[in-house]
Amino acid sequence: MSFNDTAYTMRKKEHLSRGFLIALAVCCALLIAYYFAGPVIASEDKLKKADEYFSKKSYIKAKELYREIFLAEKKGTLFDRALFGMGKADYYLQNYYEAWQNIKRFVSSAPNSEYINEANFFLGYTALHLQKFKEAEQYLDMVGEPLKDKASIGKAELALKFWDLKKAENLLEGVGKKTRETDPRALYVRAMINSGKGFHREAVEIINKIAPAVLKEQDIRAEKVWILFYARKTRDAEMLTRSIIDGPGSRVEKLKAKRILLMIYESADKIDDALKLRIELLSYEPGDDFKMKIVALYDKKENVEGALRYLTYVKDKKIRSAEMEKRLKNIMNSGDPKAMEYLSRFSWHIAEDSPFLMDVSRYFIASGKKAEGTALLRKAARSYPKGEAALYLSELLMGEGRYPEAKKFLEPIMEDARYAPRAASMIAEIMEREGKYNAAIDYLLNIVKTAKDYRPAAKLGDLYYKKGDKSGALKYYVMASDKGDGLSSLKAGDIYYISKDYAKAKMYYKKALDRDIKDPKSLQWVYYQYGKLARNDEYLKKAVSGGGDVATAASALILERN
């Protein structure tokens, strides 16, 4: 082979090698292009399929495909389209919260998208369903053609939420005639306006133009029930409500239907049905008014326990306490055999500053349930004003010899002028029981001159009398008598009587009679003493009615005079 032949052969091989490499590179490029383009083509196909499902109102299938695209794409135009599709599907599936989140995310991700106008429209209606009324108005105001009329219908619906019938009517008048007469939501608004004006027959005729399937899709079946109810088509309203509750549908729609069914039951005075439904709806109705209506239904059934039990759910402490107190008072006064049980279970809900708490405490203690009564007193003693409870609790504690504990409740109320005199007297009595007579006297002497109440003076009189100082005792009994104490008047009369100053004794016995003496033995004694000094048989006869030794002495005097 010649040199030229060899060179030709080498050039031919080099050419073939270069061609092979070029072909290989082209193949690789095609493979890479196909690899990356494949998913895009697949997503586009899925998007078309999802859109088809959506147009055929197969919203669940549409949402599933949109979600697959959304998860596959991560970002970009297809991602945004799929996100918006998910939001719209959720809207028609009445998953309003999810729709709100997805469409808002789409608007944030693709603010310049050709679908923004439609997105604003859906956001406006979604906000309306979620009762975000301010946001609903803002988004509906941003909607332009070709959805402007539909947005105006949405704003008319918003006006209806505030029962502004005139505004709703004006907004609807601005909508094209064809839309106004054929759009299901426009028909719904027209029906609601007529119902609100009292034109119930016309309202029913209009709402009946909307096919049942469309009512369901537009989520206005419950609103039709409302229109039927106010048109007094109660049976039709109840049947439709039942079909909503028992059939397939969203939780929100069923909840609306149950609320209207409750109105139907209560208007028909179906107490048991209404009560059952109100209890079922309680978790969705946090307001106290709703709970009080449950209580009222139990009252109608004369079910005291049920009324009291649901009063405990009321959050407003003042309302809860007042309503609980009213019912418990009736139970106490009626002699209900379960009174003690109800008081034990429910009296803890009475406000600490209610005087009724004291009544319950006394009721417990008088019925032998001292522990329960004392526990309620402790609760009352922590309240403001807490004087009555503190005084009564201290009396009990003193009766048990628990003096330091009693003083702990008495000392804080010494700053309150209403309770200071009684508290001071009880503190002095504690000192007296502890054998500290002089300390008790000194304590009372510091307040007796400024106290308007008789108790400090009365207690000083007792302390001086126990010390054998009748002069000191008389001074403070007279002071207490002048401040209105009948018992101190009697004691002053006795000291004057022992001193043989009968004129003053008679005067103070008469003062005692003019005042309230609760102790029957003391009252019998003053009848006897005054009757004797005044030579008045009428008072002696009153003394006789008390029985005992005093009655015997009074009878003898009457016989002696006659």
Residue-wise pLDDT for 45-73, tens only, equals 888 999 999 999 999 999 999 999 888 88
> What is the per-residue pLDDT for 35?
43
Task: Work out the number of other CB atoms within 10 angstroms of the CB of residue 130.
Answer: 15
Residue 100 scores a pLDDT above 50: yes
Read off the pLDDT band of 383 (50, 70, 90). low
Residue-wise pLDDT for 153-188, tens only, equals 999 999 999 999 999 999 999 999 999 999 999 999
> What is the per-residue pLDDT for 454?
87
> What is the per-residue pLDDT for 190?
96
> What is the per-residue pLDDT for 186?
96
Helices (H), 175-287: 177-182, 184-196, 200-207, 212-217, 221-230, 234-246, 251-267, 271-281
Cβ 319 vs Cβ 347: under 8 Å: no
* Overall average pLDDT of the 386-407 stretch: 80
Residue type, 561: R
Least confident of 35-49, 408-422, 459-473, 496-510: 35-49
CB neighbours of 446 closer than 8 A, spacing ≥ 6? none
> What is the per-residue pLDDT for 16?
44
Residue 424 buriedness (CB in 10 A; 0-12 / 13-18 / 19+): buried
> What is the per-residue pLDDT for 149?
95
Interior angle at CA 242, CA 238 and CA 245, nearest 5: 140
Q: What is the rounded CA–CA span in Å between residue 350 and residue 428? A: 32
Task: Work out the number of other CB atoms within 10 angstroms of the CB of residue 523.
Answer: 20
Task: Work out the number of other CB atoms within 10 angstroms of the CB of residue 152.
Answer: 23
Residue 278 scores a pLDDT above 50: yes
Tokens of 520: 């029957």
82-89, long-range: CB < 8 A, 24+ apart: 82/47, 82/50, 83/109, 84/110, 84/113, 84/115, 84/118, 84/119, 85/47, 85/50, 85/51, 85/54, 87/119, 87/122, 88/54, 88/122, 89/54, 89/59, 89/60, 89/62, 89/63
Q: What is the rounded CA–CA span in Å between residue 370 and residue 376? A: 10
Residue-wise pLDDT for 267-277, tens only, equals 999 999 999 99
Instruction: Identify which of 76, 122, 74, 78 has the alpha carbon closest to the alpha carbon of residue 99.
Output: 122
- Across the chain, mean pLDDT equals 86
CB neighbours of 285 closer than 8 A, spacing ≥ 6? 291
Residue 30 scores a pLDDT above 60: no
Span 43-136 CATH architecture = Alpha Horseshoe (1.25)
Instruction: Identify which of 554, 507, 508, 503 has the alpha carbon closest to the alpha carbon of residue 532.
Output: 554
Read off the pLDDT band of 200 (50, 70, 90). very high
Read off the pLDDT band of 199 (50, 70, 90). very high
Residue 450 scores a pLDDT above 80: no
Residue 264 scores a pLDDT above 70: yes
* Overall average pLDDT of the 517-542 stretch: 89
> What is the per-residue pLDDT for 54?
93
Residue 470 buriedness (CB in 10 A; 0-12 / 13-18 / 19+): middle
Determine the straight-line distance between the first and last CA of the chain, rounded to whole angstroms. 183
Share of the chain above pLDDT 70, in %: 91
Give the CA distances from residue 369 to residues 112, 274, 372, in Å, rounded to whole numbers and listed in that order: 77, 39, 6
Residue 31 scores a pLDDT above 80: no
Tokens of 55: 């147009």
> What is the per-residue pLDDT for 6?
47
> What is the per-residue pLDDT for 22?
52
Least confident of 137-141, 203-207, 305-309, 432-436: 432-436
Least confident of 95-109, 115-129, 194-208, 438-452: 438-452
Give the CA distances from residue 544 to residues 327, 494, 507, 510, 549, in Å, rounded to whole numbers and listed in that order: 44, 19, 22, 18, 9
Query: What number of helices (H) and strands (E) belong to the chain?
Result: 33, 0
Tokens of 151: 């947005």
Residue 21 scores a pLDDT above 60: no
Read off the pLDDT band of 404 (50, 70, 90). confident
* Overall average pLDDT of the 71-88 stretch: 89
Cβ 218 vs Cβ 187: under 8 Å: no
Helix, strand or coil, per DSSP, at residue 232 = coil
Tokens of 471: 């002069």
* Overall average pLDDT of the 82-96 stretch: 93
Report pTM: 0.59
Interior angle at CA 470, CA 467 and CA 473, nearest 5: 80
Tokens of 99: 């729709």
Residue 27 scores a pLDDT above 70: no
Cβ 88 vs Cβ 217: under 8 Å: no
Hey, where are the domains in the chain?
A: 43-136, 497-562
Read off the pLDDT band of 34 (50, 70, 90). very low
